[in-house]
Structure formats: C-alpha cells, structure tokens
Amino acid sequence: MAKALEIKLQRNIGIVIGLGIALVLVGFLGWLSVSQTYGTLENFFIASGYDPTEYYLFKDLTNLIAIYLTFIATGTVALFLGVLSLKSFKVRNLFVAGRPNARLGNGLIGGGGALAFGSLRSFFVYVLSSDFFELKFFIVMFSVGVLLIAFGILALRRKS
C-alpha cells in the first residue's frame, strides 16, 4: 500500500513539473509574440498620426501580455514546488493523502493558490497600464489567497 502511494505521489510530482515547464514555455512564447505585435502596432499608429491610447486594441493586448506573464509566474512556482517536493522528504510527507488533515490542508492550499495566482493578472495589468482599480483588486485577492495557503499549511502540519 505504501509503495503504491509513493508511486502515485511521484507520478503527480512529475505532472506538476511538466505542467510548470509547459506554462513557462507557453507564457514566454506568447509574451514575446504579443509584445512584438503591440510594439509594431504602436509604431504604425504613431506613424499614421493616431493616438494608440484611444483604441481598445491596445488595452486588449495589454491584458494578453498580463495573462502570459501570469502563466510564466504560475509555471515557475509549479516547477519550484515540484522540484522541492521531489528533493525534500519533509515537503513530500506533507502532501501524503493518509494524513489526518490532508484533505482540508490541500483544499485550502489549492483554493488559496487559485486566488493568489488568479489575481496576478491584475497586478501585471496595473504594472503595464497603471490602472489603480486593478492594484486594489490584486491586493485584496492576493491577501486572501495567501491567508488560505497559510491556513492550509497549518492544517497539514497539525498532528491530529
């Protein structure tokens, strides 16, 4: 039974590492492509005498760049956690399904991670376009996500 759980855990760690690499590659290639398109269109609009800030196309491209940067950040963290859980027995032992609070802890960590990484797009939009509402949204959602992750880690570390 223990050997089967270890094999499942290693398979899942491999999936997380592969997903992290895929997200980083897709994010990086998408970011390069959309950034090049943004620069080309901006130069074309300025040369034609139009103000690029008046068109929704540039706001949409800014949102796409923010989404690709979020992919890069999420993939990097997934890659880091996968390698860390592969190398560290202490970290690997936290996520074993047979622990008493594994479902609660993993659920809180998953929900918190979704909120934290989902809010990163708002942060990148704020950095790229200085939209203050996006910064407030990021701060609230990221804080709630980090709190849920912290509660999940505490639940996993609890003995009973």
Residue bearing tokens 């997903």: 19
pLDDT at position 34: 93
Parts of the chain with a pLDDT under 50:
none
123-130: long-range contacts, CB 8 A cutoff, minimum separation 24: 124/65, 124/66, 124/69, 124/70, 125/62, 125/63, 125/66, 128/62, 128/65, 128/66, 129/59, 129/62
Name the residue ranges covered by the structural domains of the chain. 1-96, 100-160
pLDDT at position 127: 85
pLDDT at position 92: 72
Whose CA is closest to 104, among 32, 49, 160, 63?
160
pLDDT in tens, 50-96: 887 778 888 888 889 999 999 999 999 989 888 888 888 777 766 66
